[in-house]
């Protein structure tokens, strides 16, 4: 999705990244230690929840500056809906990237149902690959 407005420059991307970091500053990040990180993800996948509809505060996985023209944010959200008295849980990983393409800002969001901790790494790899493709498309000459 291209963001309306513009033209945009690197300072606009920097400002957006600063706002994203500020918005997430009060959320608990996942551990940087691999063993603790996997344990946290597995606890999300194996826990139970009660109530008709409940959404657990999202967890911040990472906010990464990919290069001087892009950044990516990975988050996890757990929700539960009670169906016929039985809780149905959903754990989703979301990858969002913002890329400066020429003088346009382009945003992509990917959401994936998390079944194993490796799903987080797969979403990260996909969002980074997409960002690099957008930047490469900008750099290549048009015929």
**pLDDT tens sequence for the chain (143 residues):** 778 887 888 898 989 889 988 888 877 666 666 677 667 777 766 655 444 556 667 888 889 999 999 999 999 988 877 766 777 788 899 999 999 988 989 999 999 999 988 999 999 999 999 998 888 876 665 54
125 in a domain, yes or no? Answer: yes
Instruction: Answer whether residue 16 is part of any domain.
Output: yes
**The three-state (H, E, C) secondary structure of the chain, written as one string:** CECCCCCCCHHHHHHHHHHHHHHCCCCCECCCCHHHHHHHHHHHHHCCCCCCEEECCCEEEEEEEEECCEEEEEEEEEEEEEECCEEEEEEEEEEEEEEEECCEEEEEEEEEECCCCHHHHHHHHHHHHHHHHHHHHHHCCCC
Q: Which domain, by its residues, includes 94?
A: 10-139
| pTM to 2 decimal places | 0.68
Q: Judge whether 2 lies within some domain.
A: no
90 falls within a domain:
yes
Residue 4 lies in a domain: no
In a domain, 3, yes or no: no
């Amino acid at each position: 999705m291209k963001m309306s407005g513009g033209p945009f420059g690197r300072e606009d991307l920097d400002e957006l990244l600063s706002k994203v970091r500020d918005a997430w500053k009060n959320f608990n990040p996942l551990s940087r230690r691999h063993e603790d990180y996997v344990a946290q993800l597995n606890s999300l996948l194996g826990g139970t929840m009660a109530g008709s509809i409940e959404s657990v505060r999202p967890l911040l996985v990472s906010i990464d500056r990919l290069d001087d023209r892009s950044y990516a944010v990975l988050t996890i959200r757990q929700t539960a809906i009670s169906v016929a008295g039985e809780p149905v849980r959903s754990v989703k990983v979301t990858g969002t990237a913002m890329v400066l393409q020429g003088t346009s800002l382009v945003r992509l969001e990917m959401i994936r149902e998390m079944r194993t901790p490796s799903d987080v790494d797969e979403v990260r790899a996909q969002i980074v690959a997409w960002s690099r493709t957008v930047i490469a498309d900008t750099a290549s000459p048009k015929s």
